[in-house]
């Protein structure tokens, strides 16, 4: 186990590609969705600036299948502005979140990070990343997902984790469910921590999980917005 003083943390932000972001059309036809201005900054700026608060952050990778030239100026500017190394990694085709990690596993793992943050660029929330890392260290496990409680009526729009209302034990996980199990519904916020017990080339099988309430982080997690 690496001590918190010696650990290195890497953040990977998935930015998609030109075949994605259809909900922003026609606005996204002339500018990549991750660079579209939200609250005065490119969309991807918000998770990047949130990552700067992570202790012992060594590197931020943006993974997508836009042309490199579309991100070159922004990556250079944000690296200088935040004093955090940011690098864009272009996929040869869409691989998805897990596939993107695997495709660039040698680069992502070259500094032997103790934790990997995996984020989606199109989620706006309060991003309690340092608190999330602290909770992950405290409660252990191979990984930690940031989720928010939702109604069953809205559950079909997102990846859902269903928890026992009494024990908080995770009962069921599904992506955009069409049928509904009994329990408390929690929607993924597109923020995940993978610990050092997970190798990027592993296939992870979750056998037991607990959904922890907001008070575990000592912060209030705002409702997410999927853009």
CATH of the domain at 216: 3.90.550.10
Nearest Cα to Cα of residue 191 among 142, 122, 134? 122
Cis peptide before 170 (omega within 30 of 0): no
Give the Cα separation of 114 and 133 in Å (integer).
11
Q: Does pLDDT of 215 surpass 60?
A: no
Percent of the chain with pLDDT over 70: 67
What pLDDT score does 169 carry? 72
Tell me the pLDDT of the chain averaged across its residues: 77
What pLDDT score does 222 carry? 45
What is the full DSSP assignment across 71-128? HHHHHHHHHHHHTS-EEEEE-SS--HHHHHHHHTHHHHTTT--SEEEEEETTEES---
Give the Cα separation of 103 and 151 in Å (integer).
35
Query: What is the chain's Cα-based Rg?
Result: 17
Of the two residues 46 and 157, the one the predictor is more confident about is 46
Task: Quickly tell me which residue has 């060594």 as its tokens.
Answer: 58
Q: Does pLDDT of 145 surpass 50?
A: yes
Indicate the number of domains in the chain: 1
Is 80 within the bounds of a domain? yes
**What is the DSSP code (8-state) at residue 169?**
B
Is 4 within the bounds of a domain? no
- Facing residues of 147 across strands? 188
Q: Does pLDDT of 152 surpass 80?
A: no
Is 51 within the bounds of a domain? yes
Q: Say whether 8 is catalytic.
A: no
Is 169 within the bounds of a domain? yes
Of the two residues 216 and 87, the one the predictor is more confident about is 87
When pLDDT is cut at 50, 70 and 90, the band that residue 21 belongs to is low
Is 3 within the bounds of a domain? no
Is 2 within the bounds of a domain? no
* Domain ranges, residue 199: 9-226
pLDDT, one tens digit per residue, over 58-98 is 999 999 999 999 999 999 999 999 998 999 999 998 888 78
Choose the catalytic residue: 8, 176, 188, 215: 176
What pLDDT score does 129 carry? 93
Is 1 within the bounds of a domain? no
Is 163 within the bounds of a domain? yes
């Amino acid at each position: 186990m690496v001590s918190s003083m010696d650990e290195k943390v890497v953040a990977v932000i998935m930015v998609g590609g030109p075949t994605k972001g259809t909900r922003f059309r026609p606005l996204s036809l002339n500018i990549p969705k991750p660079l579209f201005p939200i609250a005065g900054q490119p969309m991807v700026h918000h998770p990047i600036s949130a990552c700067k608060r992570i202790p012992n952050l060594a590197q931020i990778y943006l993974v997508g299948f836009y042309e490199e030239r579309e991100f070159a100026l922004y990556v250079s500017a944000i690296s200088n502005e935040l004093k955090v190394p940011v690098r864009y990694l272009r996929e040869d085709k869409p691989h998805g979140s897990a596939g993107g990690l695997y495709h660039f596993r040698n680069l992502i793992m070259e500094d032997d990070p103790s934790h990997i943050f995996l984020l989606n660029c199109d989620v706006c929330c309060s991003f309690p990343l340092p608190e999330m890392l602290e909770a992950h260290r405290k409660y252990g496990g191979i990984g930690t997902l940031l989720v928010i409680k939702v109604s069953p009526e809205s559950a079909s729009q997102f990846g859902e984790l269903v928890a026992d209302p009494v024990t908080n034990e995770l009962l069921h996980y599904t992506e955009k469910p069409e049928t509904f199990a009994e329990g408390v519904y929690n929607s993924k916020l597109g923020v995940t921590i993978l610990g050092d017990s997970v190798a990027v080339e592993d296939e992870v099988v979750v056998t037991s999980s607990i959904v922890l309430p907001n008070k575990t982080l000592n912060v209030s997690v705002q409702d997410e917005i999927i853009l």
